[in-house]
Structure formats: structure tokens, C-alpha cells
Amino acid sequence: MNNEIGTRYAPNKIEKKLYSFWLEKGYFSPKKDGPKYSIVIPPPNITGKIHMGHALNITLQDILVRFKRMNGYKTLWLPGEDHAGIATQTAVEKNLEKEGKKREELGREKFLEIVWEWANTYRKTIKDQIKAIGASVDWSRERFTLDEGLSKAVRKVFVSLYKKGLIYRGKYIVNWCPRCKTVLSDEEVEHKEHEGKLYYIRYPFADGTGEIVVATTRPETMLGDTAVAVSPSDERYKHLVGKEVILPLIGRKLKIIADPYVDPEFGTGALKVTPAHDPNDYLIGQRNNLEFINIFNDDTTLNENAGKYQGLGRDTAREKIVEDLEKEGYLVKVETLQHSVGHCYRCDTVIEPMLMDQWFVKMEPLAKRAIEAVENGEVKFYPDRWKKVYLNWMYEIRDWCISRQLWWGHRIPIWYCKDCGHINVSEEEVHVCEKCGSTNLRQEEDVLDTWFSSALWPFSTLGWPDETSDLKEFYPTNVLVTGFDIIFFWVARMIMMGYEFMGEKPFSDVYIHQLVRDKFGRKMSKSLGNGIDPLDVIEDYGADPMRFSLALLAAQGRDIKLDLKHIETSKKFANKIWNATRFVILNLKDFEKEELNNLNLSDRWILSKLQKTIKNVTSAIESYDFNLAAREIYNFFWDELCDWYIEVSKPRLNSEDKTVVQNILVKVLDNSLKLLHPFMPFITEELWQKLPTDGESITISEWPKIDDNLIDETAEKRFELLKNIIKGIRNVKAEINIPQSKKVNIVSTIKFDQEEELYIKTLAKVENISYSNMKPEKAASAYVDNENEIFVELGNLIDIDTEVKRLTKKIEKLEKDAEKFRKKLNNKKFLEGAPEEIIEETKEKLSNIEGQIEKIKKILKSLM
């Protein structure tokens, strides 16, 4: 074991070296025994670099996996990537457009060759990024949603659901992206508030006796109107139900119908019904047996059903139709309106509701078991509030449109017979029609929604449909760590498919992690330019500080406001870890491992605090309270180990007592590095290997065990008293401008033994300690409780009167500063208009000032 240690922490010199070491040793593959623990990674899309949200997701999973591995579990963390159908095809097409090429010109086969090149390039990039973060995934089991094994699983699932009658093809109103030329699921549509217009249009009665006025935000769709609807409870229109109106500009006769969907309060209370281009109108059309007229081509130009407007784009058509309505006297008025408009989540194009033939999965039969699993606690959400979100969606679940008009993805395993029209469904390539024997077949052009293959991820990645040893051993997995935005896309569908095809849940726990925002609480985005690239952070600070910062901020139920100053703080912590370990190693000359005997107060205190830290860190990780675990080990290492125990130990390292303190330091440091390892794997590995401990790697070392015999409440209570006294003496010196190196005398009502006196004299720079129940003249109080008080004798060190005046003025200034902040926090406009972080910062400043005032008042009181 090489115990030489550099003078400074240099992450760039150790991280790649250590990751290669772990891979060479095969530490990330499951060992041969132990209880099993498995996680499948949420597969990143192959559309670019991973972002800070991915870094958080990967870090939290790695904490769990490393923790379980050290606790003796047979761990598998399975990595992989998602082919991301729409996103990847869109990205590749944009690249081709820059070269003046279009996929239609290349043809399907050539285009897919280009996309596969893209996929392989970005899969490697993503893999390297995940390695840089330090993820202990088993790369020997890496999967891709389009690899042969997963394709086999997808085909089997499709065929099975089809034969059960759960997959069907039908006309339905869908979300159509005219830019991507594909259907989107409801969850893939992003709704944004727009300032639009509400157009009031006259629809004259066919018998010439009057008119009814309707209000619409989309006058161009009137060309596909097949009715006008009113509420059955609306007294204004009851007598008109059944009457016919003439569709302006077109001349088609429409009936006035009554339907409960219509809101009497919106517009005029009369609704134009366009069943082929609005999801709610579609349902009205079904209920009332209306005609469905599609007026759009797939690029949202108007088709032959639009009459003289055929060929116009939808925006141009709107302008022309409004112009004609006004010219012919049909337009009553136009109002400004704020309303929600659906956009494609990938290209931001306004989506168009279209009536189209698509493939669907019947979801209600699949949802029943998945609802029960969450209701009865078989699958638990953390934080628990996401359970309600999941169930609300599942109770209202609609059939899933699974076909996408793309080339990149799992092509639907359907072959149409051109001779007899039979639909052939098969897991294998079909060359002969099973009904008539014809070879004149055409495979379905559409591919499956990306989430179809992702829904099988927990079991398809383990080898299903084959009965593999991995599937038998590691399914169901233990936990899924993911973001709230894909609860419906992915989590719900995995639960449904797990029960349908494996007969059991895909995971026991679902941990919904936080959204990483910028320091002002804004969502990170390209448009705002406020993103933080995890690879840049790793380059500048190291992977461990980034990981530790993310864990420290990962409080359940709260988004993360990430500022680089957080990473800077964690980098300082890493330096502290490095320097403390270096100090210990440099003071291990003639080290001999011994049983821990003849312990003094500080030894008993640090060992007792260590046991409680082990307990608290372990409990917090097991309950997914990553921030509490990180905070616990941070406070122990920095405050108790470095600032106190190492400091009180320094004189002993040059004494006859050095063997005891060396063994304590090695034991505490060994356990501390192990507790830190899941959070900061690189630095802990580098330093642990330099300690005189058994084992080749901290990665496979044993997680610290709690020794109840070492918990010593008496020692903790006494040492905490000494800490408070020492801090009190230092505070007195700081407030009355006595250098910390200047030795002072103290008077105490508390009796200390020789060891305790040594701590006070060494750490507080005290010359002499005397004991008395009387307050000395010219003294300041350094510590006080219900029974005792300790004074710093000031003697000729200061002029008491001058010091009283100075401290009084200081309090007055601090009170003025505090009052400014109090006024701000009592100002309603400030509280309503200021960003949350500014309000919190103001509260923190006020709290700090009030703390200073309280300390000075205590000193001032003792001087007077």
C-alpha cells in the first residue's frame, strides 16, 4: 500500500485512474452471494449531453448502490440508453437540413444508417459522461432500447396485447405535430399561455328567421363544422334545439344540438362543433352521431374539404376567412383572450388535433392492477404526495396512442395482405399471408411510441422474454429513481407492464427526485442561458464536490436552487478531507494496531459521536433523505473530527500516549471515509487506500457497524460543555479585540480535571484557570448556564469604560441594520414582488445580525 499523499487535492489526477481501477477489478458486477439489490437506470435519451438533472439522478442512484454494496448486498445497477424516437429523428433531420438533404430523398434504409451512426456516437458520449460522474453501473450489462434483445421483447408484448384484444387500430382525435409529422401523446404536449382572439360569428337560421352567434378562437376550423351545440340547461336556447343553421362561407346546413359539455358562461353559450379537429368536439360528435370532416393535410395546409381555401396554411387561412366573414357581414366582433395552446414538446410547433387512423392500447384493463399496487402499498412513492398525482391520472386514464409516423424506432410488427386485406401480426418477419397464402404483403410504416419499449425496461433489460438467470435473480428491482415529469410517460406504464407480463411489480419504491433550477429558482434552459453543464463542473471542481452538493441540496419535496458557490463550498470540504487525512497519515510513524484501551474524555466523546453519525447516516440513506445523510457526515467530519478531535489530539501525537490516539484517528477516519464513500467515491477511495487498513478498495469494504458499547452519553455531555466554554472564550476575545493568540486568565465556578484544563488552555489560549463563585472585577462572561458561569479576566488588557462605549455603539449600529431588514420583511410589496431567494437571504441576514447583538449584549452585561 502506497501511503504517500500529495500536498493538495487534485481531482483531475485521480478520478479517471480510479474509475479504470474499479472497472478492471470488476467491482460493479454482482458478487456471488448476499441478498440482492437491483436498480435499472432511467435510460438517457441519445440526443446530446446529460444535464444537471441527469447528474442528480445518477448521483442519488449511486449513493444507494454503493451503500448497499458496502452492506453486503449482491448489487446490480444496470445501465442503458433510450433511442428517443421523435427527439433523435428531429435532431438528425435538422443536421441533414444544414447539408441541404431530406430524409425522404435518402429513403428509409439510408436514413436509418445515418441515425444509427448518430446513436452509436452519442451512446459513447453518454457512457463517458456517466463514468465521469463516478456511477458504479455494471457496464457488462449495458442495454439500448433498440438492441436485438429489447426488440424481441417489444414484438412479443405487442403481439400478446394484440391477441388479447388490448391493441386495436381506430380513428381517433390525436395530437398531430405538423413539423415532426407524427402523433404525440397527451403527455407530450406542452400547454403554454397565449394572447389570442375570440371571434364572434353569425350562423343564420336556414329558414331565414334569424341567427345564432357562436364564439371561437379558431375560425379556420369552421370549415369542418357539423353542428352547433348549446347546453341543455340554457334557457336562452332550449327552443332552438333541432333547428338548422347555414354554415357561413360554405353553405352547409348544420343542426343545433344540446350537449352537457357546453359551458353557458363561455362566449355566447353557443359552440361550433368540429368533431375532426377538437378532442371535446370529437366526443360531442360521437354522442350525437355527427359527421366527421377533416379539413387539414398532414402539414396543416387545408385540403379539398376546405373549398376555395384549399392549399392555404392554417394561419393564412385564418386571416383570409376572418377577412371574408367581415366582408360578408358574418363577423360580429373580436375580443382579446388569454388561453392555453398545445405545443410539441420537441420542436415547439403548435399541435393540431386531427382525426386519424392510429394504433392504440386499451389502458383500463391494464391500469386496474397498477392502481391497486399503489393504493395498498406494494409500490410506494417518496415523497408520498406523488402517490396522489399518480392515482389521479390512473383513475382518469385514456387509451394510449402507440403509433408514431417516424422511421426511427421499433417498427410495428403488422403486415397487411394486399390481396385479401388480412392483418398479419407476428413476432417474426412475415413473408406469407397466414389467411390466403399471398406473398404480396406490406409492413406497417409506423413505429411504436418510444415509451412502449421503455415501459418494459425493468424486465426486458434482464433478458425477458428468455428465462435468464438475471431475470430470475434481479426482478423485481428495488427502487426507481426518476423525475416527476415522467410519472405518466414511464413510471405508470412500467408498473402496468410489470404486472401484465411478469405477474409482479417492477420495483418496490419510486423515489421522485428534485428539479434542479438555477440559483434564482428558474428552470434551466437554453433560451435563458442559465444551464450548468455537469462536465464543466467536474472539470473545474471535480466530480465529488458536485455530487456532494447535489446530495446536500436534495431535500424531499423541494426543488434544488443550484449556485456554483454550493459546489465551491463542497470543494472546500473535499480539501478539508484531504488535508485532515494527510495530517493523520504524516503522524502515523511507528504505528501499531492495538485494541482501544485507556481512552481519555476526548477519545470516548469522538467514538460516541461516530456511532451516532453511523446510525443517522445509515437511517437517512435508507429513507431516501439524502440531504440529511450528507449534512450529518459533513458536520461530523468538519466540526467534530477536524475542528475538535484532531486539534485536541495534536499534543498527544508527540507523547507516550501517541499509540492510543493514532488508533483512534485511524478508526474514526476509516469509518468517516466509508460513510462519505457513496457521496464522494473518488477522494474517499484515494485516501482510504493510504490508511493502514485491511482491504484493497473502499468500494467493496464493509459499511461501518454501530458499536453500542462505545456510546457514552456522559463523555458527550462533558466534552460538549468544554466546547461551549472554549467557543465562549474565543468569542469574548473576538468581540473586545483581543488577539486569539493572546493568553488570558479565566475564573470558573465549574471544577475541571487535569485533562479538561489542558483542552481549555490549549484550544482557548488560556494561561491560568482559577476557581471561585464570585465574579472578578474587570471580567467578561464567556459561558453561563443555570448553575455556573465562567469569566475572562480582562485586568489591564482593555479599558472597561472605553470598551463598554464601543460595544454599545456597535449594538446601536447593528440594531439599525436589523431594523432595515425587519421593515423589508414587513413590507407586503417586497414579500409579494421579490424572488423567494432574496426574501430568504434577507431573513438570514436579519438572523445573523440578531445573533451578533445577543452575543454582544451578554458580554456588555458582564462588563457593567
SS (H, E, C) 362-419: CCHHHHHHHHHHHHCCCCEEECCHHHHHHHHHHHCCCCEECEECCCCCCECCEEEECC
The answer to the question of whether 526 is labelled as a binding residue is yes
Confirm if 458 and 143 have CB atoms less than 8 A apart. Answer: no
- Alpha helix locations (H) across 419-483? 450-454, 457-460, 469-474
639, 733, 862 from 858: Cα distances, Å: 25, 13, 6
Beta strands at 143-144 and 80-81: parallel, antiparallel or unpaired: parallel
The residue type found at 677 is H
Q: DSSP letter at 302?
A: B
Q: DSSP letter at 746?
A: E
User: What is the number of other CB atoms lying within 10 angstroms of the CB of residue 160?
Assistant: 16
The residue type found at 207 is D
The residue type found at 285 is G
Q: How far apart are CA 499 and CA 456, in angstroms?
A: 11
CA of residue 93 relative to chain centroid, distance: 29
Q: How far apart are CA 122 and CA 114, in angstroms?
A: 13
Helices 52-70 and 601-622, interaxial angle, to 10°?
Answer: 120
Nearest to 29 by CA among 649, 700, 834: 700
Confirm if 679 and 633 have CB atoms less than 8 A apart. Answer: yes
Nearest to 453 by CA among 41, 166, 43, 78: 43
Coil, strand or helix: which one is 529?
coil
Helices 385-395 and 364-375, interaxial angle, to 10°?
Answer: 160
Nearest to 669 by CA among 690, 655, 648, 651: 690
Q: Which residue do the cell numbers 379558431 mark?
A: 218
Nearest to 474 by CA among 507, 510, 501: 507
Q: How many CA atoms lie within 13 A of 296 on its CB side?
A: 27
> What stretch of H or E contains 212?
strand 211-216
Q: How far apart are CA 727 and CA 715, in angstroms?
A: 18
106, 113, 407, 670 from 109: Cα distances, Å: 8, 6, 9, 58
Longest dimension (CA), the chain: 114
Give the alpha-carbon dihedral of 694, 696, 697, 701, to 10 degrees.
-40
Q: How far apart are CA 685 and CA 689, in angstroms?
A: 6
Nearest-5° angle of CA 185, CA 191, CA 192? 155
Q: How far apart are CA 817 and CA 820, in angstroms?
A: 5
Coil, strand or helix: which one is 439?
coil
Question: Is the backbone of residue 624 left (phi > 0), alpha (psi -120 to 50) or beta?
Answer: left
Q: How far apart are CA 477 and CA 500, in angstroms?
A: 16
Q: How far apart are CA 363 and CA 169, in angstroms?
A: 14
Question: Which residue ranges are tagged as binding site for ATP?
Answer: 526
- Residues of each annotated binding site: 526
